[in-house]
Chains A and B, each alone.
Chain A
């Protein structure tokens, strides 16, 4: 049996097609509705609620907690202020990414790390000789991501203290339905959004309160299918889909550096020693051999490929997560790793790894498409990420 999240007794009755999927050993909803259309629309138009409890969560406490994390990850943790949240990658000694996640500085000596994969051992290895305690709290904490332009209004109505002053990538203690929670201004949709961190045993009360007050704001429970479309529009990379942990990679080519994932900004230039520092400095100087970029398929090109066999373009209603070749002048220059039709932008989008020097924005490329069982190439462009970046995300 897969594990169930603290919200399961509320989410289970809502999932009409029983479209459960595996996520880190837990049952997670792909979609509550038949199709992700309305759940996705809630992300961009109202407020969607994702149960993200299956995330790995670690509490790192003690005098040296900041030092441990700073030594482990690519961003500067020592300078993080209490109440600040950092998105970061962490690398092996060769500067190849192991995982990515967020670090919340809850107070001077208490941090929460979220991760896609188990990192307990890696934390311990990095903490050797330091005064820290490391606890996995994955199952003690439920987490809900409330994402969308009305997410602030929902939380203001549901929480004891207003969240208006909570800035992008900050976290605050708060209360919902009498339960002590933390609310962070974070998410995986590229929209205005928050994540609520709640003790597992009180999770249902928080869910009920959010649903009750959220009804007037179009609150919509949403699954991974909707999340996937939103994160592709936002150009956010996903472990095991867009890249592989260097701890799991079987061959060198399966590994990626932060630069190859276009996460340059998350690699600190000034901080002290950390894993992969030397390799990363060298790579920065040399220039990355690969970049992670957006691909926009030209609709007219796609349309004419379909028209040639008497069809209208048909695309899957959920995002795909397979490797698809990208060509330039018929020579393969990279591969897309996720893609979807963007219902908002009305464009066929993909995220891709492209080799130097073909990754400059607006470079003409072709992406492989299968039309009536035939593999063809549809023209398109390299685009800068993110595809969608509304002002409200940070405002």
Chain B
């Protein structure tokens, strides 16, 4: 076999592409990963944006990484080290706060300060969400069956699914139906009364989507984020030592250990297609590399509209992909700090700094933040989820200094009048101004500031419209419709050309499930 010929080429060294590469290499295939940038990870990268200060530039926590991937690839041996991240503090405008601690009983005591009923409800709500997540979990590990197909494998999959849902029993099935159709605010209204609690919980229903907490469908995203909670002792939830780039590097190291070759600064221009079959890739440098399997880890728009010619694809698919909704809605602000933020609601240095802060004082607050975005503006008073990685892993910043990671919503990709440098800075100011209301010393502590809007995310990572999930996690874009009916099984109409990114089922978060299922499908097809 000549040196520049491989069994499989993976386009894009994001975490899913690396997972696919590792599984294919583990099965004995000769695998090449081609990454456009100088480092691996796509949206899961750690970079010294300012000297001495390391940031998880985009994606910043890990909750959904599939335990079977951690085990199969022995990621801890390759450098994965997940550190605990237990608490969430929601500072309130009246100077009080709502805290969720690592100890559930302590958390209930805290909630009872605000609402005794809510404190009690957390027990039953937790159980229900556990059951819901358990119900959905098998789907995450399943290649989606086509409900309109009579092929034996599809029927078997549907049968399994049908049996699975029947086994839920009527109560849980109805709860599941509600979760799939309701807004997170309405869903939580059925359980809780304390507004900041509902807002903080509903926030995970809007992350990465162009939905507000009152938009139908947002409850499912809530469930999606619950999924990391049910792995029992496995507890894959937390902060990765060294930032999220270390997760990508661990997967990359595992892939290399299995024999995969990984090339960085090797952008792919085109997939070579001959007689309806992929035959390799052409790099932007003009270099041609041959392989019988080509796998795209990029999002559906790039996979189908950029890397291959539309003429090689059915018109319906091209049309579907054009309609696939990206609509990036989140931004990121990374701060290098000379000292810790001192929160008025919980002054001084303490355990609060080891966890997350959520700026979600009320459901109205979140909905208003969404209203701004709906009308083409970034949120004047945005929702924010913030952590201080240097408190968890001191190696992220020089001794005594800190890094702060702020996930911000909403920042619409399509801003009225378009994004400019001035608007980016205005967006950064809105974030810092809002946070400063809760931690007045913040402004004076900022040494450096990096503000990332959806167009910045698109430019740096390649994610279309800056959508962090490679396409919204909306019901019409999930399971057998992700990214398109008939092409949800990681295959494409071009023989030997596959997809493995988060734009396929189940998608979203540093989960790796898409990459693993794609590899399993490819190996089954070979």
Contact = CB atoms under 8 A, between A and B. Distances in A.
A24 B10 CA distance: 59
Given A34-B106, A299-B67, A218 B394 contact: yes
B84 A312 contact: no
Contact of B102 (A35, A150, A299): A35
A35 B394 contact: no
Interface in B370-414: 391, 393-395, 399-400
Contacts of A306: 232
Contacts of A346: 67, 70-71, 75-76, 234, 236
B241 interface: yes
Contact of A343 (B86, B235, B391, B400): B235
Interface residues on B, range: 20 to 34
B71 A41 contact: no
A315 interface: yes
B233 interface: yes
A216 B394 contact: yes
Contact of A38 (B77, B106, B354, B400): B354
Given A34-B103, A313-B232, A314-B232, A344 B76 contact: yes
A45 B81 contact: yes
A345 B232 contact: no
B134 interface: yes
Nearest to A44: B81
A385 to B, nearest CB: 16
Contacts of A37: 84, 86, 102
Interface in B204-244: 230-236, 241
Given A41-B83, A217-B394, A217-B399, A35 B103 contact: yes
Contacts of A168: none
Contacts of A35: 102-103
Interface in A122-159: 150, 153, 157
A112 to B, nearest CB: 32
Given A344-B76, A345-B76, A46 B394 contact: yes
B129 to A, nearest CB: 13
Interface centre among B71, B83, B235 (most CB of A within 10 A): B83
B233 A34 contact: no
B241 A45 contact: yes
Contacts of B233: 312-315, 341, 348
A226 to B, nearest CB: 12
Contacts of A341: 233
Interface string B343-355: 0000000000010
A37 B87 CA distance: 13
Interface string A320-353: 0000000000000000000001011111100000
- Most-contacted residue by chain B among A38, A44, A315 (CB, 10 A): A38
A311 B354 CA distance: 30
Nearest to B349: A215
Contacts of B236: 346
A348 B235 CA distance: 12
A370 to B, nearest CB: 14
A150 B394 contact: yes
Interface string A25-56: 00000000011011001001110000000000
Contacts of B76: 344-347
B400 A216 contact: yes
Pairs A-B, 10 closest by C-beta atoms: A312-B232, A216-B399, A315-B233, A218-B394, A313-B232, A37-B84, A216-B400, A34-B103, A345-B76, A341-B233
Interface of A: 34-35, 37-38, 41, 44-46, 150, 153, 157, 216-218, 299-300, 306, 311-315, 341, 343-348
Interface of B: 67, 70-71, 75-77, 81-84, 86, 102-103, 106, 134, 230-236, 241, 354, 391, 393-395, 399-400
18 contacts: A37-B84, A38-B354, A41-B83, A45-B83, A46-B394, A150-B394, A157-B399, A299-B71, A306-B232, A312-B230, A312-B231, A313-B232, A313-B233, A314-B233, A341-B233, A344-B81, A346-B75, A346-B76
